[in-house]
Structure 1
């Protein structure tokens, strides 16, 4: 009950404004249609079509924002329809106005207030679904950084040649593999690979990465 009361106090004035302003604009459009040959129920139909077209276009515009639909031209189709409805509504209301500045202002007040009320309702509907729940936000994985270096699986790394030396050195196969990794890094980033990048790419120790980099530079 408290939630409903809060919603009524928050949204009620906007809905009342939309109804009153829509009724005023509706009357002017109906009278204009009657004066231009649309008698009987056709005058009412013209007024209903124009008013509901504005509401429908505003809702469709909000739906496009919610779904992320990309427009194919300078303006989207709902915006074009909404603009046409506004122009027709204002033209019909001004046609009923006294030909003075205040006459035009007062005649334009109902359609302007109606459009403001519709835009307020549209804005509230958009903001209500703008925030993602924390659980959804946490479920979205972060985008990888451009400089992220994926390590090579251990099964794909060439074996080390321990030999008979006091300190094991890199085998020729590992040197060749490191040379290909360094060439790919240079082609992708436009600069020589660093020791840390080579170590992360190959998954080897700091000392072995240093030895490999030294070998690459000397050869």
Structure 2
């Protein structure tokens, strides 16, 4: 019972507020030169645009166009109520207000058309709920022996031949001159260790030079 009383009170309040707003819009339109059925059509146009914009906002709250037309219709309704509260002489309506009232039908038609034909936001797809996977059960039989691991073969390391450094031709000619001078002065081939001491080179390079000069 309390719920029905509250709903009835809200409906009565809505009817009273709507009737007053309707009458104020009618009076303003009639004062601006719209007589007869035209004056009654203006409040219907304003209220319908306000309702259409509000319904659009309920389905697409981020629609800037719906917010724009909602504000325009709300300003028109509030403006009419305030203007007829004694702040405006309805017998001497200014020219700009007559222009606004005369241009309202075209503006309301444009707003209603854009609200009706505006694209609707697609509904967000429902997220698929991942079903929990069935737990894996390890099956062990006690009557079977455990498998014997295969023996790992022993790997014999393969010797890698040492890389022989390349001897530049100029260095080889220089070493040959030193060896020839030693042979000419001593009458015997130059030992490899003596050549290494003279050249001051790493052992691999000296061994390569001695091998090519056949000093070993």
Class of the TM-score when normalised by the shorter of the 2 chains: 0.3 to 0.5
Q: Relative CO higher for 1 or 2, CA cutoff 8 Å, sep ≥ 6?
A: 1
Structure 2 length-normalised TM: 0.39
Larger Rg: 2
Higher helix share: 1
Structure 1 length-normalised TM: 0.39
